[in-house]
Amino acid sequence: MPQANAIDIRDITKVFGQGAEAVHALDHVSLAIREGEFFTLLGPSGCGKTTLLRLLAGFEQPTAGVIGLYGDDLAGLPPFRRPVNTVFQNYALFPHMTVAGNVAFGLEMQRWRRGDIERRVEEVLSLVKLAGYGQRKPAQLSGGQQQRVALARALANRPKVLLLDEPLSALDLKLRKEMQIELKRLQVETGITFVFVTHDQEEALTMSDRLAVMQDGKVLQVGTPAEIYERPTRRFVADFIGDTNFLQGVLGRAANGEIQIKLDVGGMVTTRHAEAHTEGERVTLAVRPERVDLEPVNAEAGEDTGRLRGVVETVVYFGTDTSYRINIDSLPEPVLVRVQNRQGAASPFASGDSVRLRIPPEAVQVLVD
C-alpha cells in the first residue's frame, strides 16, 4: 500500500465575504490524502467540497490554514504553477479548438516539443478510448465523449494529483455507470492520486478507496466506504449514506464485551462499540435496515433482548430483497427492514401482521452526537 501523503490539508478555513454577510465555506478542515488513492469528498451542495477542491487547484486562497502537496506548501502558488490538473463539472473544453488542440494545450504551456506533443496526445486519447477523434470539435461530441476529452486533457500533463469536480453529474444514469468504471480503471492504470468531488453517495461508495463526508464546511468522518457505511459516527453521515433507522436509548452497563442499551420504545439491545460514551448517557443508535431480522410473533424465542414488537405497515418487493415498513408503538416513524429474498419464497409477512424485530449487536452503531 502507498504510504506517503500526496496532500496534507491542515486546519483550513475559507470565508467568503465580510462582516455580517461572511460565509464560512470551510471551517477548520484537516485531511490527509495518500499517494495513489482514489479519495472522495462527499456531501450535499453547499457543504464546501467544491471550495476545498478549488483551494487545491489554486483558484481560491484559504483564509487560514496550510495545504501541502508532497510536503511543499502551496500557499500563494498560482494555479498554473501547481502540479495538479482539474476535470471541471461542465468539462470547460475550449470550444474554438479541436479535441487534439484541447489535449495538447497543457503540453504546449509546458513548452513540450511538437513531435512529443503529438505522440502524447495520441497516447492519452487512446487511454480514454477516443483515438481518431482528434480533429473533431468539442461541440461535435456527445456528453460522454466530451467527458473523456476533459479527462484526457487533464491527464496529458501527468499531474501529481487529479482533481475531479462532479465530473459525472451531467451524464445520464447508464453513461454515468460506465464512466464510474472507466474512471476507476484510469486511476488504477495511471497510478495518479484522484480527488473526486460528488454529492452522489452511491458513486462515492463504489469508486473510492477512502472518502470524507462533509457538511456545512466541516469534515464529519473520513474512512473507507465500508467504515463509513458500517460504522457511521454522526447522525448526518448515517442518514446521508444509505437508509438508516434511528433509535434513542440510555446506555447501560458493559458485560462480556457487550453494552446494554435500554431503548425508549421499550426493550433492550446490545452493542459492542460505545467508546465515546459512559454509562447512563442518552445516545442515538443507527441501525441499517438490512441488518435487522424479522420473526413471526408467535415463534418460540429465547430472551427478549434485542427484540422489538411491531406491526407491518407496507411490504415492497424489490427483486433482490423485500422492504418492510414496520410500525412500533410510540415511535413516530416506522422502522425500515430489508430482508433478502430466497428463490421461490413469497414474503412470509403481509401488511397488518404482527412481527418481532431482532437487532443483533453488530447491527447497532452508537452515534457520537
Which is nearer to another protein, 161 or 168 (by Cβ)?
A: 161
CA 350, CA 353: separation in Å to the nearest integer? 6
At closest approach, how far in Å is the CB of 6 from another protein? 17
Where do we find the cell 487533464?
Answer: 154
79 touching another protein, by CB under 8 A: yes
Which is nearer to another protein, 95 or 280 (by Cβ)?
A: 95
Q: Of 106-125, which residues contact another protein (CB under 8 A)?
A: 106, 109-110
Integer angstrom CA distances of residue 208 from 180, 201, 212, 238, 323: 10, 11, 10, 17, 27
Which is nearer to another protein, 163 or 364 (by Cβ)?
A: 163
Q: Of 86-105, which residues contact another protein (CB under 8 A)?
A: 86, 88, 90, 92-97, 105
85 touching another protein, by CB under 8 A: yes
Which is nearer to another protein, 57 or 363 (by Cβ)?
A: 57
Q: Which residues have C-beta within 8 Å of that of residue 47, sequence separation ≥ 6?
A: 214, 215, 216, 217
Segment lying near another protein (by CB under 8 A), choices 56-64, 231-239, 255-263, 349-357:
56-64
Q: Of 3-32, which residues contact another protein (CB under 8 A)?
A: none
At closest approach, how far in Å is the CB of 77 from another protein? 12
What residues does 84 pair with on adjacent strands?
161
Helices 114-127 + 173-190 axis angle, to 10: 130
Cβ neighbour number for residue 173 with a 10 Å cutoff:
8
User: Among 14, 49, 148, 153, which residue sits at the site for another protein (rule: CB under 8 A)?
Assistant: 153
78 touching another protein, by CB under 8 A: yes
140 touching another protein, by CB under 8 A: no
In 3D space, the residue among 143, 236, 221, 159 whose CA is nearest the CA of residue 194 turns out to be: 159
What residues does 219 pair with on adjacent strands?
214
Tell me how many residues contact another protein (CB under 8 A).
Answer: 24
> What are the cell numbers at 198?
460528488
In 3D space, the residue among 134, 125, 143 whose CA is nearest the CA of residue 99 turns out to be: 134
> What are the cell numbers at 360?
443483533
Q: Of 258-287, which residues contact another protein (CB under 8 A)?
A: none
Torsional sign, CA 138, 141, 147, 148: negative
At closest approach, how far in Å is the CB of 21 from another protein? 13
Which is nearer to another protein, 84 or 205 (by Cβ)?
A: 84
Instruction: Classify 109 in phi/psi space as left (phi over 0), alpha (psi -120 to 50) or beta.
Output: alpha
User: Among 11, 17, 22, 59, which residue sits at the site for another protein (rule: CB under 8 A)?
Assistant: 59
At closest approach, how far in Å is the CB of 109 from another protein? 4
Q: Footprint of another protein on this chain (CB under 8 A)? A: 57-59, 78-80, 84-86, 88, 90, 92-97, 105-106, 109-110, 153-154, 157
